[in-house]
Structure 1
Amino acid sequence: MNSELLKKLTEEYGPSGNEEKIRQFIQNEIKDYVDEIKIDKMGNLMAIKKGNGKRVMLASHMDEIGVIITGITDNGFLKFSNIGGVSPYISLGQRIIFSDKTIGVIGMEHLDDMKKLKLEKMYIDIGAKSKEEALKKVNIGDVASFYSSFTTLGDFITSKALDDRIGCFITIETIKNLKDSPNELYFVFTVQEELGLRGAKTAAFSVDPDLAIAIDVTSTGDTPHAKHMAVKLGNGPAVKIKDKSLLSHPAVKKLMIDTAKENQIPYQLEVLEFGGTDSGAIHLTRSGVPSGVLSIPCRYVHSPSEMISKEDVENSITLLTKILEKNI
């Protein structure tokens, strides 16, 4: 597994609506392995491998959660709101980083009851002593992402932005591994998924695929006293059955399961009672698109320390490659 590539992907800056840097990085990584590259008006990156068969769309989102500055106090502290699903409890005490590498620490006002903690009761400390000094580094509307190191823990990896840079990584490695496919393949790296699947909606309208698969993370039920969920790290990629945005198309679900069985690739079945992926928007495009999701088990989703299994990632690349080699 190319851990160095994954490290670079996760560490690159790219909160929703600010995907320019991560898009350029991915484009440089795949340009020699595809027939054509397009960037649409929304900022989605589309890499095309031409073929004469069905038009297949693979979607993985480039964006990550973050925070946006809403105000600056007289003594130089930054008030902020969320970009995507940011928990105040997980954020407290964490570091964030802006596009120009300015770093801040998230703190909170004094509260007698921690149950009342909300983002509006929190602030970012960038070491400024006044509003004037803070304005030299940060302004209203500036956006930051979490700042944490990429770390290997045995077979596991922990980092910020594995949601969904791990999907981007799997897609990139699949592009490199894929020698031949009878299908016309559209590998789409989407924008603004964390804000409501926005990039996938416009990209799917443009591509008009015959079939679509999103590659994204999913939660697990394998930590102490976790909410019940039949997905574990290390047990293989998960074939999504349902989430809040999608009931997977039976044909796509069968394609993924049959391919896994044919190639002795371990897999799990996933029923997610909350959340959604790009396929939630794709399957409703135009007259409808048969869609499914290849889900990567991930602990601590939407935190600075998301965690995945290397083995699950390697099996995901193999499974996706085998699927795309088929005459769908």
Structure 2
Amino acid sequence: MFDLVRKLSDAFGVSGNEEEIRAVITEEIKDKVDDIYTDTLGNLIAVKKGTGRKIMLDAHMDEIGVMATFIDDNGFIRFSNLGWVYQYFALGQKVRFKNGTIGSVFYEEKLDDMKNLKLSRMYIDIGAKSREEAEKKVRIGDTACFVGDAVQTGDMIISKALDNRSGCAVLIKVIQNLPETDNELYFVFTVQEELGLRGARTAAYQIQPDIAIAIDVTDTGDTPECHPMAVKCGAGPTIKIKDSSLICHPEVKRLLEDAAKEIGIPYQYEVLESGGTDVGAIHTAVGGVPSGAVSIPCRYIHSPVETASLSDMENAVKLLVQAVK
């Protein structure tokens, strides 16, 4: 599992620029499904044909990042966020532009109080000495991801973009370990989730599934003095009850509970007080879709050092394989 997650997290895939990560995923699954295609918005959709219920399994493949908005006379680059970029997580980090250019993120020296730190008071330094030199490497509108190489420590993986390359890895493993089933399965790797669940919304309207399950990360309550939450890394994948975008359908929740009990894997319940996932858009599509979610507990979400349990991911694979039967 670690090697797959590392391969996925290394790939560039800032929201709206998912070409590289889509190609990596395609290579992993193209020989395991009956049909595979990219839709108009850029979602990667893989189909395992059947005559039973139409099930949509979803994982967004985009990651947060930044976009160059202005280059000053000295070659320093101002930027805007793509997705929720927390200024304190971004400070002092490296970013990698799509063409491979590396830059460091820092803030204006005249800032007299860190409480006033905003993305608008920050810049990217790519080592250029002038605007002309900088523009040879970076142009207005170019996007960059944060740099955070994947490392394994025991059962844990530390990396950028575990939101949601861990979910993509789970979905790939489900495809590679599919059981015999009459159900028709749609595996959807969506774009632009970080910008407002955009890819999932259009995909659901295309597919019109009978049931949908999203795979994403969720917050934890297992770090010092954190906000109380009944989710821990290493205690199993979570079955979502609610988040800001939906209350999960009771039948889908029951399906996931029964599947976990049948194979004897650990699982947790998730009540996420703020934030949402693709099912927030899917469940209101085409007259309504019974929807639920399986989440990977993840610390430090939207930072370059997101941290999650590999065993939680592996148990999520087992859970979903059992559920789609």
Q: TM-score, normalised by structure 2?
A: 0.99
Letter aligned with residue 15 of structure 1: V
Superposition map of 1:36-47 within 5 A: 36-47=35-46
Report the counterpart of residue 279 of structure 1 in structure 2. 279
* Whole-Å separation in 1 of the counterparts to 2:133 and 2:322: 55
The CA RMSD measured in Å over matched residues stands at: 0.6
Map Cα deviations across residues 25-78 of structure 1 (whole Å, 9 max, x no partner).
111110000000021100000000001100000000010000001100100000
Report the counterpart of residue 253 of structure 2 in structure 1. 253
Report the counterpart of residue 188 of structure 1 in structure 2. 188
2:146 matched to 1:155?
A: no
Letter aligned with residue 5 of structure 1: L
Q: SS at 2:286's partner residue?
A: coil
Report the counterpart of residue 100 of structure 2 in structure 1. 101
Q: SS at 2:169's partner residue?
A: helix
* Whole-Å separation in 1 of the counterparts to 2:121 and 2:301: 23
Report the counterpart of residue 86 of structure 1 in structure 2. 85
Superposition map of 1:64-79 within 5 A: 64-79=63-78
**Contact 2:179 2:321 (C-alpha < 8 Å) held by counterparts:** no
* Whole-Å separation in 2 of the counterparts to 1:308 and 1:54: 32
Q: SS at 2:287's partner residue?
A: coil
Map Cα deviations across residues 80-117 of structure 1 (whole Å, 9 max, x no partner).
01000101101000000011110000010021110000
Report the counterpart of residue 231 of structure 1 in structure 2. 231
Superposition map of 1:128-143 within 5 A: 128-143=128-143
Q: SS at 1:286's partner residue?
A: helix
Q: Shift of residue 123 of structure 1?
A: 0.2
* Whole-Å separation in 2 of the counterparts to 1:230 and 1:3: 26
Q: Shift of residue 262 of structure 1?
A: 1.5
- How many residue pairs match? The answer is 324
Letter aligned with residue 85 of structure 1: W
* Whole-Å separation in 2 of the counterparts to 1:160 and 1:251: 34
Superposition map of 1:1-328 within 5 A: 2-110=1-109, 111-325=111-325
* Whole-Å separation in 1 of the counterparts to 2:293 and 2:266: 16
* Whole-Å separation in 1 of the counterparts to 2:67 and 2:231: 33
Q: SS at 1:25's partner residue?
A: helix
Q: SS at 2:299's partner residue?
A: coil
**Identity of aligned pairs, percent?**
60
Map Cα deviations across residues 221-261 of structure 1 (whole Å, 9 max, x no partner).
00000001000000000000000001000000000011111
Q: Shift of residue 274 of structure 1?
A: 0.4
Map Cα deviations across residues 255-302 of structure 1 (whole Å, 9 max, x no partner).
001111111110000000000000000000010000001010000000
Q: Shift of residue 165 of structure 1?
A: 0.5
* Whole-Å separation in 2 of the counterparts to 1:97 and 1:254: 42
Map Cα deviations across residues 176-197 of structure 1 (whole Å, 9 max, x no partner).
0113112000000000000000
Which has the larger displacement, 239-248 or 175-184? 175-184
Letter aligned with residue 165 of structure 1: R
**Contact 2:2 2:157 (C-alpha < 8 Å) held by counterparts:** no
Structure 1 stretches lacking a partner, 5+ long: none
* Whole-Å separation in 2 of the counterparts to 1:180 and 1:303: 39
Letter aligned with residue 219 of structure 1: D
Letter aligned with residue 15 of structure 2: S
Letter aligned with residue 301 of structure 2: V
* Whole-Å separation in 1 of the counterparts to 2:155 and 2:168: 20
Q: SS at 2:239's partner residue?
A: strand
* Whole-Å separation in 1 of the counterparts to 2:171 and 2:281: 19
- Structure 1 consecutive aligned stretches of length 4 or more whose deviation exceeds 3 Å: none
Q: Shift of residue 211 of structure 1?
A: 0.1
* Whole-Å separation in 2 of the counterparts to 1:164 and 1:152: 17
Q: SS at 1:112's partner residue?
A: coil
* Whole-Å separation in 1 of the counterparts to 2:181 and 2:45: 17
Q: TM-score, normalised by structure 1?
A: 0.98
**Contact 2:170 2:316 (C-alpha < 8 Å) held by counterparts:** yes
* Whole-Å separation in 1 of the counterparts to 2:296 and 2:24: 22
